[in-house]
Amino acid sequence: MPPPALGELARIFLRLGVTAFGGPAAHVAMMREELVTRRKWLDDAEFLDLVAATNLIPGPNSTELALHLGLRRAGWAGFWVAGACFILPAAILTGACAWAWHRWGEVPEAGWLLSGVQPVVVGVIAHAAWGMAPAVTRTAGRRAAGVMSAVAVGLGADELLVLLVAGLVFALPHLRARPGAAGFLPLATVLPGAVLLPVSAGGLFWVFLKIGSVLYGSGYVLVAFLRDELVVRRGWLTEAQLLDAVAVGQLTPGPVFTTATFVGGILAGPAGAVAATVGIFLPAFVFVALSGPLVPRLRASPLASGFLDGVTLASLALLVVVTIQLAATTLGDPVSVLLAAGSLLALSRGWLGSTSLLFLGAAVGFVVARVG
């Protein structure tokens, strides 16, 4: 099958970049609905292999998944198009928020948007987790391993450690069968400690390049890194400014890592916004470019394939835990429960897609806020 027109890839990821609220788990769910369920560009097993691969490298997982999908579907041109189109809408919106902060001293108020969109996001993620489960839980042993991974994460175990342990558990039988086989280690990198620099576009680029190169886990872990690097160590941000940055990351769609765009914008204007954005996302492009071609080869090696099976299973367990945690914190009233349940039902029956449901949820949030 010839690669699709890059224009089609650009439209899909631009739309996702504009409508993908809710963080990495929601982004993964929306990409699955768009590319696995609707367009059938790949199946759930192949999709979960790519999700697992993003969990083995530092950086923003959903952005890295977009890069993998673009590379798989349309080669290196698709790699660049998918990544840029997924990042740019959020970066532009976040940059606009930085401009508003400079002009009025605060970020725009849009609590009604979150109140309507977040319950829909819970339904979207739940539907994705349910749909992907059959691809990796074919046996009782796999199901047991998935439950144990979910319990471990739910009890506070380090996500990366759970992924690695699950991978090793599934790889060990192949290692015993082939005593001389070489193992597979996740790609990672560690940059040296930050150099103290004055606030400048160059300094922001260095700080965010370092963060993007070593940050594992969801985009929300970014907040802890920002506080340590910019509030505690350098004094570039106040606690109040950090909270504004977190709010913008929540209110805008697309990658949570575009919080960096806001920080760069309020510290050093447009040049700072661009430098921070390029700095934090550049490592993801490098890591996926290096690891992406390896994913199909892993399946050819029994040992590496077993490792990938375990990581894939644990990745699905992480998605289930995120769904439960989001439901616990988001579904606090009858309207939100109805929105989440209705979204899950609509997706399961094929009545509406996730994008339409998100706009519907935002409309409900707006109406409820005005009536209340």
Report how far residue 49's alpha carbon sits from residue 313's, in angstroms, rounded to the nearest whole number: 10
Q: Which is more confidently placed, 9 or 226? A: 9
Backbone angles phi, psi at 4, to 5 degrees: -70, 165
| pLDDT tens column, 138-154 | 788 888 888 898 888 78
Residue 41's pLDDT is: 92
Residue 311's pLDDT is: 75
Is the Cβ–Cβ distance between 238 and 101 less than 8 Å? no
Radius of gyration (Cα) for the chain, nearest Å?
20
Q: How many residues does the chain have?
A: 372
Share of the chain above pLDDT 70, in %: 85
User: What DSSP string runs through 112-150?
Assistant: HHHHHHHHHHHHHHHHHHHHHHHHH--SHHHHHHHHHHH
CB-neighbour burial class of residue 175 (10 A; exposed 0-12, middle 13-18, buried 19+): middle
Report how far residue 188's alpha carbon sits from residue 101's, in angstroms, rounded to the nearest whole number: 36
Share of the chain above pLDDT 90, in %: 22
Say yes or no to pLDDT of 184 above 50.
Answer: no
Q: How many CB atoms lie within 10 A of CB 305?
A: 17
Q: Residues 257-278: what's their mean pLDDT?
A: 91
Say yes or no to pLDDT of 190 above 50.
Answer: no
Q: Which is more confidently placed, 345 or 315? A: 345
Maximum average pLDDT range among 41-50, 301-310, 357-366: 41-50
pLDDT category at 305 given cuts 50, 70, 90 is confident
| pLDDT tens column, 209-245 | 988 887 765 555 576 678 778 887 888 888 777 767 7
Say yes or no to pLDDT of 178 above 70.
Answer: no
Residue 315's pLDDT is: 74
| pLDDT tens column, 14-25 | 999 988 877 787
Sign for the pseudo-dihedral over CA of 362, 364, 366, 372: negative
pLDDT category at 31 given cuts 50, 70, 90 is very high
Backbone angles phi, psi at 66, to 5 degrees: -60, -40
Least reliable range by pLDDT among 1-15, 150-164, 218-232: 218-232
Least reliable range by pLDDT among 18-32, 134-148, 236-250, 319-333: 236-250
Q: Which is more confidently placed, 125 or 247? A: 125
pLDDT category at 319 given cuts 50, 70, 90 is confident
For the chain, the domains span 6-185+290-371
Residue 182's pLDDT is: 39
Residue 106's pLDDT is: 60
What are the tokens at 297?
């080869």
Residue 66's pLDDT is: 95
Residue 181's pLDDT is: 41
Q: What is the DSSP letter of 257?
A: G
Say yes or no to pLDDT of 186 above 50.
Answer: no
Tell me which residue of 196, 189, 211, 191 sits closest to 279, measured CA to CA: 211
Residue 217's pLDDT is: 53
Residue 250's pLDDT is: 65
Residue 86's pLDDT is: 95
What are the tokens at 93?
């919106």
Is the Cβ–Cβ distance between 366 and 109 less than 8 Å? no
Is the Cβ–Cβ distance between 280 and 210 less than 8 Å? no
Q: Which is more confidently placed, 268 or 239? A: 268
Q: How many CB atoms lie within 10 A of CB 141?
A: 11
Q: Which is more confidently placed, 1 or 25? A: 25
